[in-house]
């Protein structure tokens, strides 16, 4: 049975990543894992172009993946099925003691299914998050992964409570948020090395940063039009790093006129350090990204989330984040106009030492020493 001590043998963990938020998390955790044992890094290729993948590995010092798969773009079912088969082949070859997955992507659920079918324990980083919206593919991925996992690493107390309500109590740990480790580790480098926001001709505090990529927004012509229409009405320069998915749907729905509004400054997806610097100096954020909501809170930048719900309820409760259902231009504009930075930001994402805590729990679970 897996998870039984074998004396002083070093552990072997297979970590699976595929999308840019996972690369930032892996930058922090891979170093700690490799100090305690062997890590096999598997890149599924879910995000596969240079701007969305390679540049992150280069900037953040992430080890070169031992396995580079070719998931590419496709329907959810086809992409997940392709990754499931490819990851299974790697696991059969490498025979790791544990498979570690991050977040809520198709890469996450594919790796979890492959590991579970082979009887390999799963460690889920960012466990317990819930939007309670089963129309979101990410919500399905979270729920399935949590119920398959042997170790569940929750970023907040709220996430722990969600798991308890679902009957998941064993090996559940509130360790803080691994992305906070990343913000603390890379913030100084971002501010020192990035040419943002000056490279885009912007003054600090005089622009809004906006990102759109979730299927619920991009795949709906009404919602995408409402978001772009609202952005054009903010009365402030808006920087929009354009996700390839979003660019495709803007063209498909014939919304180029809205995207080309005079106050919208488009750019390609940015490397992490540039994005972190741009966020640090922004007046506010408009986004449907879960990761950017958190990073805005960590850097004390007010945020409007372009969704009806969020997994990060603590940021809303603390007053730094407002929900704006993207069905109405007026609702989005009103949410932006109402934002105001609170005086305090409670430490809801931990102390910045999440990576060390995760590795300690993995070592204990597997019965290995770190020598």
Question: Hey, which residues are catalytic here?
Answer: 213
- CB neighbour list of residue 347: distance below 8 Å, 6 or more residues apart: none
Provide the angle, in degrees to the nearest 10, between the axes of the packed helices 76-94 and 106-117: 50
CB 288 within 8 A of CB 217: yes
Q: Measured between alpha carbons, how far is 50 from 243 in angstroms, rounded to an integer?
A: 13
Nearest to 127 by CA among 80, 88, 176: 176
The sheet that has 67-68: what strands, in order across it?
Answer: 67-68, 38-43, 12-17, 98-102, 122-125, 151-154, 172-174
Q: Measured between alpha carbons, how far is 31 from 47 in angstroms, rounded to an integer?
A: 22
Q: 205: exposed, middle or buried (C-beta count within 10 Å: 0-12, 13-18, 19+)?
A: exposed
CB count within 10 Å of CB 231 equals 25
């Amino acid at each position: 049975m897996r998870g039984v001590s074998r004396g002083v043998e070093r552990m072997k963990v297979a970590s699976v990543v595929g999308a840019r938020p996972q690369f930032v998390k892996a930058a922090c955790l891979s170093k700690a894992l490799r100090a305690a044992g062997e890590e096999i890094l598997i890149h599924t290729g879910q995000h596969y172009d240079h701007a969305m993948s390679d540049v992150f590995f280069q900037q953040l010092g992430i080890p070169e993946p031992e396995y580079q798969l070719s998931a590419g773009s496709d329907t959810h079912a086809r992409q997940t099925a392709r990754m499931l088969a490819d990851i299974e082949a790697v696991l059969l070859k490498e025979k790791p003691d544990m498979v570690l997955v991050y977040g809520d992507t198709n890469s996450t659920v594919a790796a979890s299914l492959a590991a579970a079918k082979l009887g390999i324990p799963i460690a889920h980083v960012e466990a317990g998050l819930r939007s309670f919206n089963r129309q979101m593919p990410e919500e399905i991925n979270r729920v399935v992964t949590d119920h398959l996992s042997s170790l569940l690493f929750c970023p907040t107390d709220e996430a722990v409570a969600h798991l308890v309500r679902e009957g998941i109590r064993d090996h559940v740990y509130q360790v803080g948020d691994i992305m906070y480790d990343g913000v603390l580790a890379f913030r100084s480098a971002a501010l020192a090395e990035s040419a943002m926001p000056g490279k885009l001709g912007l003054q600090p505090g005089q622009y809004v940063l906006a990102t759109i990529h979730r299927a619920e927004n991009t795949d709906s012509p009404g919602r995408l039009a409402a978001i772009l229409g609202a952005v054009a009405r903010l009365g402030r320069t808006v920087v929009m790093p354009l996700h390839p998915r979003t660019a495709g749907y803007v063209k498909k729905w014939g919304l180029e006129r809205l995207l080309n509004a005079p106050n919208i400054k488009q750019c390609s997806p940015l490397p992490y350090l540039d994005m972190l610097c741009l966020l640090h100096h922004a007046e506010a954020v408009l986004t449907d990204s879960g990761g950017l909501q958190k990073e805005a809170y960590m850097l004390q930048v007010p945020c409007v989330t372009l969704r009806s719900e969020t997994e990060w309820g603590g940021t809303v409760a603390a007053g730094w984040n407002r929900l704006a259902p993207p069905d109405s231009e007026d609702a989005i504009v009103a949410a932006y106009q109402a934002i105001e930075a609170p005086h305090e930001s409670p430490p809801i994402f931990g102390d910045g030492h999440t990576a060390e805590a995760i590795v300690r729990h993995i070592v204990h679970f597997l019965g290995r020493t770190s020598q």
